[in-house]
Amino acid sequence: MKLLILDAGHCLSLALAREASRRTDTELVIEQGLAVSASQLQAIAPDAVIIPPLAHPLSMTPAEVKAHADAVERCVDACQTQGVALVWCVSDQLYEEGFDIPIDEHVVPAPRDECLRRLVQTGDRIRADYHRHLIVRLGPLFALEGSHAWLNEIIDSLVTGQAVRAAEDVVCCPTSADAVAMALIGMLQQQACGADAWGAYHLAGTEPVSAFTFTSMVRTQLATHLEGRGETVALGEVQALNHHHDAKLRRVLNCRRVLDVFGVHQKPWRLEVGRMLDAWCLTRDQQPDDVGTGESV
C-alpha cells in the first residue's frame, strides 16, 4: 500500500514515517506542504492521501485556518478526479462548546467560532461529494518532535526552568501521535482489503484529563526520569489557567466505532508519555550538553 502524506514537518507525518519504516506492507511518499494536484496523484499513484490536523485552530488566525481548508478542498478535488482515498484528520476543538457526555461520531460539530465553522464546511463538502473518505477527529496530539507536538514544548520549557501554563477547566483526551499513525495505517490496510468502511471516526487516548493535569503529570514523570538518571534539575512550575468559571468544558471523544469497525484500541496516554520520556532520556544521553540546565550528581 502506498500512502501520500502531506505537511512533512507535522508530528503526525513524522509518526507515520516511523511506523511505515517498521512495516514491509506500507510505502510512504511525503510532501512538504498541502498542495497536491490531480497530475501529481496520477504520477505518484497512492492508495490514499493523509492530511494531518490543525492542532489548535481556536488559537490560529482566520487566514491560516482558511488556507488550510482551501488546501483540503483542492486536495478533495484531486483525489476525486483520480479515485484516491482521502484521510483528513481534524482537532477535537471543532466541538467548541464540548458535551457533558462522550461525543459520538454522528454528532457533526456546530461551533460558533467563524474559523471552526470554515473547517466544518469543508467536512460537510467531503461527506456530500466524495464517498471514499475518512474524517478522523483526534484528541490533542502529543509527540517528541515535529510541529504541533505539544510534549516537546512542555519538556523544553520545564527543563529550562520556565513556567508552563495550561488550562485546568478544559477536559480532553491527550492522544499519542505514534498511536494515531499505527491506527491510520491499520485502518487503511483494512480498507485496501475490502472493508469499505468509509466515514467519520473518533480516535483519542484513554482517561480524560485537563491540560493542566496532563502537564503536571508530564512534570512528575520527567522529574522521576531525571532523578533516576542521577540528575538534579530545577524544573519549571505548571500554572493553571481558567477560562470557564462556571463549569469545566469537556471534549471527550467516544472511540467505540473505530474499535467495532477496525479493532483499533485506544492507548493510555500515561504509558505513551512514559515511553516517550524514555526515548527523550536516550537522546539526552547522546547529547548531554545540548538539553537542560541541571547538574549531574
Residue 102 has pLDDT above 80, yes or no: yes
CA atoms of 155 and 161, how far apart (whole Å): 10
Please identify which residue in the block is written with the cell numbers 473547517. 119
Cell readout for 154 is: 512542555
Q: Dump pLDDT digits (tens) for 240-272.
A: 998 766 678 999 999 999 999 999 999 999 999
Q: Dump pLDDT digits (tens) for 12-66.
A: 999 999 999 999 999 999 999 999 999 999 999 999 999 999 989 999 999 999 9
At 249 the pLDDT is 93
What's the whole-number mean pLDDT along residues 193-199? Answer: 94
Please identify which residue in the block is written with the cell numbers 477560562. 243
AA identity, residue 281:
C
Please identify which residue in the block is written with the cell numbers 472493508. 195
Who's near 253: CB < 8 A, 6+ residues apart? Answer: 92, 102, 103, 137, 138, 139, 173, 202, 203, 204
What's the whole-number mean pLDDT along residues 285-291? Answer: 59
Read out DSSP for 227-291?
HHTTEE--PPPEEEE-S-SSS-EE--B--HHHHHHH-PPP-BHHHHHHHHHHHHHHHHHHSTTTS
Summary mean pLDDT of the chain: 93
pLDDT band, very low/low/confident/very high, at 229 (cuts 50, 70, 90):
confident
Residue 92 has pLDDT above 60, yes or no: yes
Residue 293 has pLDDT above 70, yes or no: no
CA atoms of 243 and 257, how far apart (whole Å): 32
The neighbouring-strand residues paired with 232 are 295
End-to-end CA distance of the chain: 50
Q: At 104, phi and psi to the nearest 5?
A: -80, 165
What's the whole-number mean pLDDT along residues 124-149? Answer: 96
At 283 the pLDDT is 87
Q: Dump pLDDT digits (tens) for 141-189.
A: 999 999 999 999 999 999 999 999 999 999 999 999 999 999 999 999 9
3-state secondary structure of 165: strand
pTM for this entry: 0.92
